[in-house]
Amino acid sequence: MLIAGFPAGPWGTNCYVVATGPGSECVVIDPGKDAAPGVADVVREHRLKPVSVLVTHGHVDHMWCVAPVAGAYDATAWIHPSDRHLLSDPLAGMSPETTQMLLGGDYSWAEPDDVQELGDGQALELAGLRFLVDHTPGHTEGSVTFRTPWASTGSTGGVEPSELMFSGDLLFAGSIGRTDLPGGDHPTMLRSLTTKVLPLADDIVVLPGHGEQTSIGRERATNPFLQDLIEA
């Protein structure tokens, strides 16, 4: 299994490229601002062909390059219907501070030519990989996570995870996503964490939208937000 991740743009948003191995089709997850060159570098280095772009949620730092990346490779974009409007109107999901920062620039967004909508519990078979969609609103109304079984390419000399979870801005190492932006709701976020994160196996590796990777077990043991939910 090939996973390449890199932080992109002024918000340091993690963009991921996932494939069964070199020379195969691949999936791109959350190509935010300035992510397109990084995607192109990974694709060229590993001889990949992007067929799908998965979006964990519609905030501009996660979807800025969705249309350019999807268009460059004739790939399908996938997003939850509650956040689909943000593909063409990301200002609707921004804070006043972010909007002010972007004002004065010549920015325009449009949906990719091929957009498909995600549903809770949906299983996607893409590029030889299987992704399970969990609808996890709270950060935005249409936030989702993607889980895929870990496929080993050989002995690593250690314990391997059962799954990988691309958590977007639901769960970070030591923290959770903010809920003070348009479409955010803190009680809904806590409900998503309670019903969609806490039941998961400890060995699942979490690849978040920002910051370092972690695991469900590590967050269950150390994340103060999850600990409060467990105690409650």
3-state SS class at 231: helix
pLDDT in tens, 166-202: 999 999 999 999 999 989 999 999 999 999 999 999 9
Q: With b meaning 16 or more CB within 10 Å and e meaning fewer, what string describes 192-205? A: bbeebbeebeeebb
Cα–Cα distance for residue pair 165/184, rounded to 1 Å: 21
Q: Is residue 18 part of a domain?
A: yes
pLDDT band at 93 (very low <50, low <70, confident <90, very high): confident
Question: Which band of pLDDT confidence, cut at 50, 70 and 90, is reported for residue 105?
Answer: low
Q: How far is CA 183 from the centre of its chain?
A: 17
Kindly tell me if the per-residue pLDDT of 232 is higher than 90: no
- Asked whether residue 101 is domain-assigned, the answer is no
Confidence of residue 155 (pLDDT cuts 50, 70, 90): very low
Domain assignment of residue 154, given as a range:
2-90+108-231
With bands split at pLDDT 50, 70 and 90, how would you rate the model's confidence at 104? low
Please check whether residue 173 lies inside any domain of the structure: yes
Average pLDDT, the chain: 92
Least confident segment among 40-49, 125-134, 150-159: 150-159
State what percent of residues in the chain have pLDDT above 90.
81
Is residue 63 in a domain? yes
Does residue 102 belong to any structural domain of this protein? no
pLDDT for residue 101: 64
Name beta bridge partners: 49. 25
Asked if 155 and 208 touch (Cβ cutoff 8 Å), the reply is no
On whether residue 98 sits in a domain, the answer given is no
pLDDT at 30: 98
The whole-number pLDDT of residue 95 equals 72
Q: How are strands ordered across the β-sheet holding 163-168? A: 123-126, 129-135, 144-149, 163-168, 205-208, 214-215
Whether 96 is in a domain gets the answer no
Q: Based on the structure, what is the number of domains in the chain?
A: 1
* pLDDT-above-70 percentage for the chain: 92
The closest alpha carbon to 141, from 209, 66, 79, belongs to 79
Whether the CB-CB separation of 57 and 78 falls below 8 Å is answered with no
CATH code of the domain containing 129: 3.60.15.10
Task: Determine, yes or no, domain membership for 150.
Answer: yes
The pLDDT of residue 50 is: 98
Q: What is the pLDDT of residue 158?
A: 64
